Amino acid sequence: MMSGSIEHDVKARAAGDLVSGSVGLRNYYFVRAAFAAAWVGAAFTLGKAPLAATALLIAYPAWDAIANLFDISRNGGAARNLPQTLNVAISGITAAAVASVSGNMNAALGVFGIWAILAGFMQLATGVRRWRSFGAQWTMILSGAQSALAGAFFISRSFGNGTPGIRDVAGYAAFGAFYFALSALWLLFRRSA
C-alpha cells in the first residue's frame, strides 16, 4: 500500500514538473517572439543607418546565443541539451564574425546565411527532442527547416551583384517571431484545454 502512495506522489510530481516546464517553455517562446518582432521593427526604422544595421545584424545571433544559454540552464544543462549547446557556440561565433566583416554587407549576409542554416538544424533537432516531453513542437521543427532554407537564400544573395541590406534579414526575423508566438500560443491553449 505504501509503494502505491509513493508511486502516486512520484507521478504527481512528474506531472507538476511537466506543467511547470510547459509554462516556462511557453514564456520563453513569448519572449523570443517579442524580441524578434522588436528586432524587425528596429530593422525597418533604425536599420536605415549603416551603423545601426550592423549592430542589429550582430545583435540577432548574439541574442540567440543568450536565449539558448538561458533555456539550457532551465532545462537540465549543456549535457542534456547538446543541439542548443552547439547553437550557443555557433551563434556567439557568428556575432563575432558579422562584427569582423561589418564593412561588407555581402560578407555579413553570407555569414548570417551560414548561421541561419546551422541554427536552423539545431532548432529542428531541439524541436524533435522536445516533442517527447511537450508535444506539438511542429512549429519549431518547421521554423528550423525554414531557417536552413533561408540561410541558403542569404548565401546566394550575398554573391549577387547588388548590395544587400538589413531588410533582406527582416523577413527571416518576422517568420521567427511568428513561429515562436505560434508555439507559445499552442502551449497556452493546450494547457487550458
- Over residues 86-125, the pLDDT tens digits come to 999 999 999 999 999 988 999 999 999 999 999 999 999 9
Q: In Å, how far are 11, 93, 100 from 27, measured between CA atoms? A: 24, 27, 33
What is the pLDDT at residue 191? Answer: 62
CA–CA separation, 110 and 100 (whole Å)? 13
- Give mean pLDDT, residues 21-27: 87
pLDDT band with cut points at 50, 70 and 90 for residue 18: very low
**Please, are residues 32 and 68 in contact by the beta-carbon 8 Å criterion?**
no
CA–CA separation, 146 and 63 (whole Å)? 19
CA–CA separation, 42 and 31 (whole Å)? 16
- Give mean pLDDT, residues 23-50: 94
User: What residue numbers bound the domain in which 119 lies?
Assistant: 2-192
Can you list the pairs that 132-136 forms with residues at least 24 positions away whose Cβ atoms lie under 8 Å? Answer: 133/18, 133/21, 134/18, 134/21, 134/22, 134/25, 134/187, 135/190, 136/183, 136/186, 136/187, 136/190
What is the pLDDT at residue 46? Answer: 95
CA–CA separation, 111 and 154 (whole Å)? 9
The pLDDT tens digits for 43-70 are 999 999 988 999 999 999 999 999 999 9
CA–CA separation, 182 and 170 (whole Å)? 18
Q: How many domains does the chain have?
A: 1
What is the pLDDT at residue 4? Answer: 53
pLDDT band with cut points at 50, 70 and 90 for residue 8: very low
Give the number of other Cβ atoms within 10 Å of residue 127's Cβ: 22
